[in-house]
Amino acid sequence: MAKYKIALLPGDGIGNDVMDAAKIVLEKIELDAEYFEGEIGWKYWCTEGNPLPDRTLELLRETDVCLFGAITSKPKEDAEKELDPSLRGKGYTYFSPIVRLRQEFDLYTNLRPCKAYSGNPLNYRDGIDLVIFRENTEGMYAGVEFHPLPDKVREALLIHPKMEKFKDVPADEIAISTRIMTKKGCERIVRQAFEYARKYKRKSVTVVEKPNVLRETGGLMLKVAREIAKEYPDVELWEANVDAMAMWLVKNPEDYDVLVAENLFGDIISDLAAQLVGGLGFACAGNIGDNYAVFEPTHGSAPKYAGQYKVNPIAMLLATKMMLDWLGENEKAQRLENAIAEVIKEGKVRTYDMGGNASTLDVAKAVADKL
Catalytic residues: 141, 210, 243, 267, 271
Residue 55: φ, ψ to 5°: -65, -30
Alpha-carbon span 98 to 297, nearest angstrom: 12
242 touches 267 (CB < 8 A): no
Longest dimension (CA), the chain: 66
Alpha-carbon span 63 to 35, nearest angstrom: 9
- The H helix count followed by the E strand count for the chain is 13, 12
Among 15, 76, 75, 4, residue whose Cα is nearest residue 40: 15
Tell whether omega for the bond before 97 is within 30 degrees of 0, i.e. cis. Answer: no
| Strand partners of residue 130 | 114
Alpha-carbon span 197 to 199, nearest angstrom: 6
285 touches 110 (CB < 8 A): yes
Alpha-carbon span 338 to 293, nearest angstrom: 23
Is the alpha carbon torsion for 216, 217, 218, 220 positive or negative?
positive
Alpha-carbon span 85 to 29, nearest angstrom: 46
Q: Is 108 helix (H, G, I), strand (E, B) or coil?
A: coil
348 touches 342 (CB < 8 A): no
223: which residues sit within 8 A by CB, 6+ positions away?
none
Residue 137: φ, ψ to 5°: -125, -10
116 touches 128 (CB < 8 A): yes
